[in-house]
Amino acid sequence: QSSLGSGSSLLVHVLRVGPGQELLTSLRSFVEEKRLRAPFIITCVGSVTKATLRLANATATNPNEVLHLSGRFEIVSLVGTLNPDAHVHVSLSDCEGHTVGGHALGDMEVFTTAEVVIGEATQLQLSREMNKRTGFPELVVQPRTD
């Protein structure tokens, strides 16, 4: 089953998250404060000192394939939707340039900065519904009604 939305205008927000702040919590707070209904990450640059990622081999019956990182990492990619059940993936590069990525579960403490550009599809609303086939909450796109 696909969930397709129609076209929408785009509103752009820019947020800087400072040292010591948890990145995903900060993004969720920003989305809630601005009452964004269809937010998504356009781009992000920055660094973190730790992160918790769910790896690609996780399944609904084995969701605990988790990696806890600690050290200094550059954010080389941060993508996803920021509706209440945010779905965000991150790629992080260490001091030797080795990169790891996965589903961002949290614990992403900002080291120096995280400069995030957030888009909002102003005529749409994003939500998630549990999908029996995958065992995960999956994206549902609907026209905004207010």
Over residues 20-78, the pLDDT tens digits come to 999 999 999 999 999 999 999 999 999 999 999 988 876 666 666 899 999 999 999 99
What was the pLDDT predicted at 56? 83
pTM of the model: 0.88
- Closest to 35 in 3D by CA, of 141, 122, 131: 122
141 forms bridges with which residues in the sheet? 126
State residue 1's pLDDT score.
45
Higher pLDDT, 80 or 136: 80
pLDDT in the model for residue 60: 64
Mean pLDDT of the chain: 91
Of 95, 92, 96, 97, the closest CA to residue 109 belongs to 92
Choice between 136 and 98, residue whose per-residue pLDDT is larger: 98
Q: 19-141: which CATH architecture?
A: 2-Layer Sandwich (3.30)
- What single-letter DSSP state applies at residue 35? T
pLDDT in tens, 108-125: 999 999 999 999 999 999
